[in-house]
Amino acid sequence: MAHYVQVPKDLNDIKEKFIAGFTKRQVICFGIGLVLGAPVFFLSRNAVGMSGAIFAMGAVAAPAILCGLYKKNGVFLEKQIRYMKEYFTRPRKRYYKTTNIFMCIEKHIEYTKIKKKLRDAEKKG
């Protein structure tokens, strides 16, 4: 009796599991979320009550946890946010500007002539 195992076609999506089915990235991000959220919970528990403290802890820990879990088209959340920021801060109108290579060559020739005149003047003077 033969047993068949399905092998995924794209082997790049296979990630090595680290602890309890989570990757190293997810464990680190959950740890950062815990480190950020636990003090918020304990410090705000007396002031806003238990449910308010849990909500505050979730709000503080959520960005770190989402960085570990969110992945779309092979791009993690922090890179996605950086790409969105770059997109929205770029100017909307882009103008096509060419460089006239002949003008550059003429300027270079003129520059070398002036440079040569200055060298000759230094040698004479």
Angle, vertex CA 79, rays to CA 75 and CA 80, nearest 5: 70
**pLDDT reported for residue 124:** 82
Comparing 94 with 61, the larger pLDDT belongs to: 61
Please report the sign of the dihedral spanned by the C-alpha atoms of residue 74, residue 77, residue 82, residue 85: positive
CA 73 to each of CA 70, 78, 79, 87: distance values in angstroms, whole numbers, following the listed order: 10, 13, 11, 17
- Residue 9 clears pLDDT 80, i.e. is over it: no
Comparing 7 with 39, the larger pLDDT belongs to: 39
**Which of the four pLDDT bands, split at 50, 70 and 90, describes residue 58?**
very high
**pLDDT reported for residue 34:** 93
pLDDT tens digits for range 71-119: 888 888 989 999 999 999 998 888 888 888 999 999 999 999 999 999 9
CA 74 to each of CA 59, 70, 84, 86, 113: distance values in angstroms, whole numbers, following the listed order: 25, 10, 15, 18, 55
pLDDT tens digits for range 23-55: 888 899 999 999 999 999 999 999 999 999 999
**pLDDT reported for residue 16:** 74
Q: Which two tokens stand for residue 96?
A: 């096509």
CB count within 10 Å of CB 74 equals 8
**pLDDT reported for residue 1:** 65
Q: What is the DSSP code (8-state) at residue 11?
A: G
- Its pTM stands at 0.58
- Domain residue spans in the chain? 14-99
